[in-house]
Amino acid sequence: MGTSGKIKYFSVVVPFSSDGSQILLGRKKRGMGEGLWNGFGGKPEKGETMGRCAHRELQEESGIDATEYECAGILYMDDTAGPDYHIPVYRVTKYTGEIAETEEMEPQWFGASEDCLPYDKMYAEAKLWWPNMLANTPFVAKFLFEGERVLSHDVQSVGREVLGEHMDRIDEILLAGKA
Ligand SMILES: COc1nc(N)nc2c1ncn2[C@H]1C[C@H](O)[C@@H](COP(=O)(O)OP(=O)(O)OP(=O)(O)O)O1
């Protein structure tokens, strides 16, 4: 854990097209990560599990309603100075509704392959975990940051049961109001 001892929780949510050939990203229009392409997402509300947070944030930021989605991996980000971030990443395989630009996000489809992703306009660590996301291989990724610089990383492919155990621990913390 970084020196601040604080952990902040966020979701990141990525819709895939029905044939899996495209992914929907959003360009953040304000606040944290402004100008960067990322999945949709944000902080859980009080009493909310991460899955519910992912569903709500996607709806709020893109207008669509995820009907089939699952956790694809977790980003554990330690910072040498600021708070640490624990960020489950979700893959949406079915949704209803119309995609819309919102106050927070400008949505755009990208090809679901590494050479189609706008890595130069994504968070610095994106290129380290997106290969797992694209291959549909569950992952647990650990990063040590100094500000925006990645000092070290360890991205492990894991079984779904292991990922489930990580998610259970996070939900337990959220539901106990300890986040
Ligand atoms: C290096 O760190 C990050 N990497 C990646 N890939 N994604 C990150 C990183 N830091 C934050 N994020 C994601 C997590 C969330 O999806 C957004 C930030 O969420 P936001 O600040 O918009 O949270 P909200 O709850 O929506 O906040 P407001 O209600 O204030 O809009 O970035």
ipTM: 0.94
Whole-angstrom distance, CA of residue 179 vs CA of residue 174: 5
Say how many domains are in the chain: 1
Q: Does a structural domain hold residue 62? A: yes
Residue 8 Cα to ligand 1 midpoint, Å, equals 10
53: domain CATH number is 3.90.79.10
User: Which residue has a Cα nearest atom 2 of ligand 1?
Assistant: 123
Q: Does a structural domain hold residue 122? A: yes
Q: Does a structural domain hold residue 2? A: no
For the chain of 179 residues, list the mean pLDDT of each consecutive stretch of 10.
79 98 98 97 97 98 98 96 94 98 98 98 97 98 93 98 98 93
Atom of ligand 1 nearest to the CA of 41: 16
Confidence (pLDDT) at 2: 62
Q: Name the residue range of residue 36's domain.
A: 7-175
Q: What is the model's pTM?
A: 0.96
Q: Does a structural domain hold residue 1? A: no
In order of 95, 169, 171, the CA distances from 113 in angstroms are 21, 31, 31
Nearest to 105 by CA among 44, 35, 45, 168: 35
